[in-house]
Amino acid sequence: MEGSEPTQPAAETMQYEQIHKMVEAEFIIEEAFIEYNTPTFYVTPKPNLKQAFLRLYSQLDPMQLVPILRKREKRVMLQVIAKPPVKPSRPLINIALLLATVVTTLISGYLISAGWPDLMPDPWVGAIMFSAAVMFILGSHEMGHKLTANRHKVEATYPYFIPGLPPLGTFGAVIQQKSLPPNKDSLFDLGLAGPVIGFAATIIVTLIGVQLSVLLLEPPPGSVAVPFPDFFGIPIPLLFGFTLILFPPSGSGSVIWLHPIVYAGYIGMLVTMLNLMPVGQLDGGHVAHVLFGERSRLVLALAAIAAMALTGYWFMAILAFFIAWVRHPDPLDGVSGLSTGRKLAAVLVVVVFALTFAPLSSVWLPI
């Protein structure tokens, strides 16, 4: 009709009406409009905002749409956008990096084991044990992330293992998130799962390796000290009437000639400690972001970097300094808070970080 105002295509109008009904079922709509072709709503949350958002999130997912909840000028704004396309993963890259890391850790394990001519005549035995232990720790850490991502319906790749030069043989592993987590609870879980599971795997590996290590009264010629957390210096009584002696405390006059498996445990400690730094999008950065917000996370990051530098981890401190300035994105629901249980679980993060960043004792490795 001449003089009529332009209207949206029928399909878009029907989709907007459907979205409007979905939003209205979960929130009290104060104002609704289209902003830059994006359905936008100012809403008043009903009781249990977090669950309401998750229900809307699930309903919109089959439509390839994603809700975003933010505060704008003290009002709660909800927008519905098209789900960003997810680039397909290339499993061959994951497999190639996995195999490359197995090779580099085998080489590192061989070089470590070659210093055990009397205790380990065949260095390849130690190499295989070292490589298996390292891959078990890194794999446990990353699969903790992957399984948690699947539970919260966050798109994520399989682990990318990073081969490295001796004596470590690896620079760890990473998982790439391809979508934002739905809320702060899921972001916290993603940050917590990897380090905690990886730390548990590290403890298991280290305890096994200690049984294969040798207690000495003085360092062997040509060996170097390797730092280990002091809590390993506590004798632990076990069942069946014997005591497991872990690393001797500083000043005890004894040192440990480490089995390669224990050195794998050392790498696990180091990886866990670095991942729990409240820096950028590291695991500790996820946790700090949801607990304290972005500005406070940056302050914590700088304090942690300073502590790392003061304890001699200069290279890692410099690397963390540059990562720290990358802003951490909010989850889709940036309004609802963290659950009480997860706030209490944050104590576990502090405990694990403190145990892996504690004052260090001296243990010994062959060169």
What value does the mean pLDDT of the chain take? 83
Q: What is the pLDDT of residue 243?
A: 41
Give φ, ψ of 65 to 5 degrees: -125, 155
Q: Give the pLDDT confidence of 340-358 residue by residue, as tens digits.
A: 999 999 998 888 888 887 5
Q: Of the candidates 316, 313, 282, which has an alpha carbon nearest to the alpha carbon of residue 297?
A: 282
Which CATH number goes with the domain that contains 30?
3.30.70
Residue 58 confidence (pLDDT) above 60: yes
* Same domain assignment for residues 137 and 213: yes
Is the domain of 16 the same as that of 147?
A: no
pTM: 0.84
Question: How much is the pLDDT for 235?
Answer: 47
Element housing 247 (H / E): none
For range 58-78, the mean pLDDT: 93
58 and 168 share one domain = no
- The segment with the largest mean pLDDT, out of 107-121, 160-174, 249-263, is 160-174
359 CA to centre of own chain = 23
On the question of pLDDT at 81 being above 70, the answer is yes
**41 and 98 together in one domain:** no
Q: Is 67 left (phi over 0), alpha (psi -120 to 50) or beta?
A: beta
In a domain, 326, yes or no: no
Cα separation of 21 and 188, whole Å?
Answer: 31
β-pairing, 38-45 with 75-82?
antiparallel
Q: Specify if 126 maps to a domain.
A: yes
Classify residue 1: in a domain, yes or no. no
Residue 240's pLDDT band (cuts 50, 70, 90)? very low
- Please, which contacts does 221-226 make with residues 24 or more away whose CB atoms are closer than 8 Å? 222/115, 222/366, 222/367, 223/115, 223/257, 223/364, 223/365, 223/366, 223/367, 224/364, 224/365, 224/367, 225/362, 225/363, 225/364, 226/258, 226/263, 226/266, 226/362, 226/363, 226/364, 226/365
Calpha distance 173→97 (Å, rounded) = 10
Q: What pLDDT is recorded for position 216?
A: 67
Q: Which residue has the higher pLDDT, 198 or 328?
A: 198
Q: Which residues of 52-87 are buried (b: 16+ CB within 10 A; e: fewer)?
A: bbbebbebbeeeebbbbbeeeeeebbbbbbeeeeee
Q: Domain boundary at 82, 112, 135, which? A: 82
Domain boundary among 223, 247, 277: 277
Please report which helix (H) or strand (E) contains residue 67, including its range: strand 65-72
Same domain, yes or no: 128 and 238: yes
Residue 316 has pLDDT above 50, yes or no: yes
Higher pLDDT, 251 or 184: 184
> What percentage of the chain exceeds 70 in pLDDT?
80
Domain co-membership, 141 together with 251: yes
What pLDDT score does 367 carry?
A: 38
Cis amide prior to 167 (ω within 30 degrees): yes
Alpha helices in the chain (DSSP H): 10-26, 49-60, 91-113, 123-151, 184-211, 260-275, 283-292, 294-310, 314-324, 340-356
- State whether 117 and 177 are in the same domain: yes
pLDDT tens digit sequence for 6-48: 444 565 677 889 999 999 999 999 999 998 889 999 999 888 8
Q: Which residue has the higher pLDDT, 359 or 191?
A: 191
For the chain, the C-alpha Rg in angstroms (whole number) is 26
Q: What is the dihedral of CA 362, 351, 143, 315, to 10 degrees?
A: -50
Tell me: do 151 and 198 sit in the same domain.
Answer: yes
Look up tokens 């130690």; give the residue.
126
Does residue 198 form part of some domain? yes
Number of domains in the chain: 2
The last residue of a domain, from among 277, 294, 320: 277
- For residues 73 and 195, state if they share a domain: no
pLDDT of residue 354: 82
Tokens of 81: 């956008």
**121 part of a folded domain:** yes
Query: Is the residue at 356 inside a domain?
Result: no
Residue 316 lies in a domain: no
**65 within a domain of the structure (yes/no):** yes
Instruction: Write out pLDDT tens, residues 144-176.
Output: 999 999 999 999 999 999 999 988 899 999 998
User: What whole-number distance in Å separates Cα of residue 222 and Cα of residue 364?
Assistant: 10
Q: What are phi and psi of 279, to 5 degrees?
A: -125, 130
Q: Domain of 231? A: 91-277
Beta sheet of 27-35, edge-to-edge order: 27-35, 38-45, 75-82, 65-72
Report the distance separating Cα 351 and Cα 366, nearest Å: 31
Name which of 17, 81, 75, 24 is nearest 52 in CA terms.
Answer: 24
Is residue 64 located within the same domain as residue 107?
A: no
Say if residue 209 is in the same domain as residue 247.
Answer: yes
Tell me which DSSP letter residue 179 carries: S
- Phi, psi at 183, each rounded to 5°: -155, -175
Neighbouring residues of 69: CB distance < 8 A, sequence distance ≥ 6: 53, 76, 77, 78, 332, 333, 334, 335, 336
Together in a domain, 109 and 55: no
